[in-house]
Amino acid sequence: MYCCGPTVYRDAHVGNLRTFLLSDLVRRVLTAHGVQVKLIQNITDVGHMSEDIENEDKMLAQAKAESIDPFAVARKYEAAFHTDLAHLNIEQADAYPRASESIELMLTMIEQLIAKDFAYVGEDGTVYFSAQAFPSYGAISGNRLDALQPGHRYEYSEDGAKRFHADWALWKNAGGRKEMIWDSPWGPGFPGWHIECSAMSLHFLNLHINLHVGGIDLRFPHHENERAQSNAITGNESVDLWLHGEHLLFEGRKMSKSARNVVLLKDVIDRGFDPLAVRLCFLENRYRSQMDLTWASIEAADATLKRWRKKIKSWGNQLPQKDEEFLTIIDNDLDTPKAIQYLRTLEKNENSTNRAALFLFADQILGLDLAREEVIKPLTLEQEEILKQRQIARNEKRWVESDELRIKLEESGIEIMDGPDGQTWNWR
């Protein structure tokens, strides 16, 4: 398996992380069936041009913004990415090759593409892939070369340096760029984004990939270009199956800085929620369906996790037991919503004597850490006092004050429930 990894120039938001959960889920399902899986996931730390800043690498743009070395930027956000994966219980890949450490692989591949007449050196010193030399271009996305509009914003517009407007850069001439450049047979420069994944996937997976995973936004042009490059080298289909996960909205809108609705996993944790609540939210939606994540859905998922962990403990000490019915559900194009509903039905089945065993088996695939025992923390003196004052406010029907105190408690990680017998609370 190969999964397109992150471009490590900023923190990954929860939408970015959905792709890596998909990859982890597929790997867990295959493992449950006894398949030995080798997973490679790259780290893009050079060569990914910004769509917002003309002709500027995302790494260099962020380094300028933070006034630090671009490789320091890369290592900073790469570490943060791995922290996020751990919080989501996403198992480690077998290797995380970095683009910046795989330059020789790319140079060798580009030389081979030139020798095979799939690539050429433009008048600007940049090496381009000849899209017209690859007749089956568009097989993944359905895009036809004769229908493509000229250029993409993150590719140079070299004023005639390309032979055809849909050609893309494999190796970009450094020009005036002074950082993150390497020597090559065509002069100093840096790799194009697409060649990175071709070079690393073919190298680490012995020229053939059974399953290639990525977000739907990568289908075109990235995966289309990657397929052309890789197939041109191998002489056959280098990837058996391309798997794409759909976009994520947050509270009805696409996440963006301009919309001020970018949510990081850190934000979820800071609100007192288990980060695996995000994983459960993802699982409650089909990977190939656009989903709308909300704070309300995260809160509900967090409550479900807490309830399931308590119930599994109450059902007794049992070992995971293979559940063919669950496997049949999940094998149907990763139907995780139906799998979660199956567990909800099982939860209510009082006649079942092996609920814990079946839940724990399902958890080997779902990765929700359901065997975890909840940490019980003592209340602080301040929290105890606020709880006391809120109960007094409710008794005296001072509802505005009661609501204000509830907010304070929630901000400190305490969930309040009001009932006929008064208020009760849980750690969120």
Residue 37 CB burial class (10 angstroms; 0-12, 13-18, ≥19): middle
405 and 336 in a single domain? The answer is no
Distance in angstroms (rounded) separating the CA atoms of residues 425 and 293: 25
pTM: 0.86
Distance in angstroms (rounded) separating the CA atoms of residues 369 and 361: 11
Listed in sequence order, the residues at least 6 apart from 229 whose beta carbon sits closer than 8 Å to its beta carbon are: 109, 113, 118, 129, 170, 194, 195, 198
20 and 159 in a single domain? The answer is yes
Listed in sequence order, the residues at least 6 apart from 48 whose beta carbon sits closer than 8 Å to its beta carbon are: 7, 9, 57, 58, 59, 154, 193
Domain boundary among 201, 221, 245: 245
Query: Which pLDDT score is estimated for 47?
Result: 77
172 and 270 in a single domain? The answer is no
Q: Residue 279 sits in which domain range? A: 248-366
What would the DSSP string read from start to end of 149-202?
PS--TTS---SS-SSSTT-EEEEEE-TT--SS-B--TT-SEEE-HHHHHHHHHH
348 domain-assigned: yes
228 and 260 in a single domain? The answer is no
Taking residue 138's Cβ as centre, other Cβ atoms within 10 Å add up to 19
Residue 303, sorted as left (phi over 0), alpha (psi -120 to 50) or beta, turns out to be alpha
Distance in angstroms (rounded) separating the CA atoms of residues 409 and 424: 12
pLDDT confidence of 37, banded at 50, 70, 90? very high
Distance in angstroms (rounded) separating the CA atoms of residues 201 and 209: 7
122 and 223 in a single domain? The answer is yes
pLDDT tens readout for residues 75-92: 999 999 999 999 999 999
Q: Of all residues in the chain, what percent are helix, strand and coil, respectively (each to 5)?
A: 45, 15, 40
Distances in whole angstroms, Cα of residue 317 to Cα of each of 27, 136, 310, 320, 349: 27, 56, 12, 10, 18
DSSP 238: S
34 and 164 in a single domain? The answer is yes
Q: Which two tokens stand for residue 285?
A: 């939606």
Query: What percentage of the chain carries pLDDT values higher than 70?
Result: 94
pLDDT tens readout for residues 302-344: 999 999 999 999 999 999 999 999 999 999 999 999 999 999 9
343 and 291 in a single domain? The answer is yes
Taking residue 289's Cβ as centre, other Cβ atoms within 10 Å add up to 10
267 and 169 in a single domain? The answer is no
100 and 219 in a single domain? The answer is yes
21 domain-assigned: yes
94 and 160 in a single domain? The answer is yes
pLDDT tens readout for residues 145-198: 888 876 544 354 555 688 998 999 999 999 889 999 999 999 999 999 899 999
What would the DSSP string read from start to end of 201-236?
HHHHTTT-EEEEEEEGGGIIIIIHHHHHHHHHHHSS
255 and 326 in a single domain? The answer is yes
Cβ contact 141:222 at 8 Å:
no
DSSP 99: G
| CATH number of the structural domain spanning residue 138 | 3.40.50.620
298 domain-assigned: yes
pLDDT tens readout for residues 189-240: 999 989 999 999 999 999 999 999 999 999 999 999 999 999 999 999 999 9
- Average pLDDT over the chain reads 92
374 domain-assigned: no
Distances in whole angstroms, Cα of residue 374 to Cα of each of 104, 356, 397, 417, 423: 49, 16, 34, 19, 21
pLDDT tens readout for residues 86-130: 999 999 999 999 999 999 999 999 999 999 999 999 989 999 999
Query: Which pLDDT score is estimated for 52?
Result: 38
Total number of domains constituting the chain: 3
Domain boundary among 245, 280, 309: 245
